[in-house]
Structure 1
Amino acid sequence: MQEITIRKTKEPLFSGNFEIINLGDLLVDKNMEEGLHRHDFFFLMVLEEASGKHHIDFNDYPVVPNTISLIRPGQVHELILEKGSKGYLITFDFNFYSSIYNYKKEIFWKVVQHNYYNLGNQKFGKILSVSKYIFDEFIQKKAGYEEVIKANLDILFIELMRDVLENNTLKEQNDPYEQELLDKFVQLLESQICTNKQVTEYSEMLHITPYKLNAITKNLLGKTSSQLINEQIILEAKRLLLATSNQINEIAFKLCYEDPAYFIRFFKRYTGYTPQVFRQNFK
Structure 2
Amino acid sequence: MKKIPIRQIRAAFPDVQSAERFTIRRLQDLVGETDLIHDLHRHDFFFILALKNGEGIHEIDFTSYQVLNNSIFFLRPGQVHQLDLKAGCTGFLVEYNTEFYNPNTKLSIQRLRKASSKNYCKLEISRFEKIQATLNAMFLEYTDKEEGYKEVIKANLDIFFIEFVRQSPNPTGPPVAINQYTQERLEEFLELLEIHITTYKLASQYAGFMNLSLYQLNEITKTTLGKITSELINERIVLEAKRYLLATPDQIKEIADQLGYEDASYFIRFFKKHSGYTPEAFRQNFG
Q: TM-score, normalised by structure 1?
A: 0.86
CA deviations on 1:51-105 (whole Å, 9 max, x unpaired) are 2221011111112321111111221100122333221110112222222222222
Match of 1:145 among 138, 142, 149: 149
Matched, 1:156 2:160: yes
Cα drift, residue 277 of structure 1: 2.8
Structure ranking higher in helix proportion: 1
User: Which letter maps to 2:69?
Assistant: P
Cα drift, residue 131 of structure 1: 0.9
The residue number in structure 1 matching 2:266 is 262
The residue number in structure 2 matching 1:9 is 9
Structure 2 residue ranges without an equivalent (≥5):
none
Match of 1:208 among 211, 216, 219: 211
Match of 1:103 among 103, 107, 122: 107
Asked whether the 8 Å contact 1:6–1:39 carries over to 2, the reply is yes
Distance in structure 1 (CA, Å) of the matches to 2:34 and 2:63 = 25
Matched, 1:189 2:198: no
Distance in structure 2 (CA, Å) of the matches to 1:264 and 1:89 = 38
User: Which letter maps to 1:6?
Assistant: I
For the aligned residue pairs, the C-alpha RMSD in angstroms reads 2.7
Cα drift, residue 45 of structure 1: 0.4
Match of 1:227 among 208, 226, 231: 231
The residue number in structure 2 matching 1:252 is 256
Cα drift, residue 168 of structure 1: 4.2
The residue number in structure 2 matching 1:74 is 78
CA gap of 1:280–1:178, structure 2 versus 1, over 3 A, is same
Asked whether the 8 Å contact 1:7–1:37 carries over to 2, the reply is yes
Q: Residues 84-123 of structure 1: matches in 2 within 5 Å?
A: 84-123=88-127
SS in 1 for 2:40: strand
Distance in structure 2 (CA, Å) of the matches to 1:50 and 1:74 = 25
Structure 1 residue ranges without an equivalent (≥5):
none
Asked whether the 8 Å contact 2:2–2:246 carries over to 1, the reply is no
CA gap of 1:113–1:168, structure 2 versus 1, over 3 A, is farther
CA gap of 1:52–1:209, structure 2 versus 1, over 3 A, is same
Asked whether the 8 Å contact 1:4–1:240 carries over to 2, the reply is no
Matched, 1:36 2:77: no
Asked whether the 8 Å contact 1:74–1:190 carries over to 2, the reply is no
Distance in structure 1 (CA, Å) of the matches to 2:53 and 2:225 = 34
Distance in structure 2 (CA, Å) of the matches to 1:48 and 1:78 = 20
CA gap of 1:232–1:72, structure 2 versus 1, over 3 A, is same
Q: Residues 127-142 of structure 1: matches in 2 within 5 Å?
A: 127-142=131-146
CA gap of 1:50–1:191, structure 2 versus 1, over 3 A, is farther
Tell me the matched-pair count: 280
SS in 2 for 1:163: coil
Asked whether the 8 Å contact 2:4–2:246 carries over to 1, the reply is no
Asked whether the 8 Å contact 1:199–1:210 carries over to 2, the reply is no
Asked whether the 8 Å contact 2:203–2:230 carries over to 1, the reply is yes
Matched, 1:51 2:55: yes
SS in 1 for 2:84: strand
Cα drift, residue 201 of structure 1: 5.1
Cα drift, residue 191 of structure 1: 4.4
User: Which letter maps to 2:27?
Assistant: L
Distance in structure 2 (CA, Å) of the matches to 1:278 and 1:71 = 23
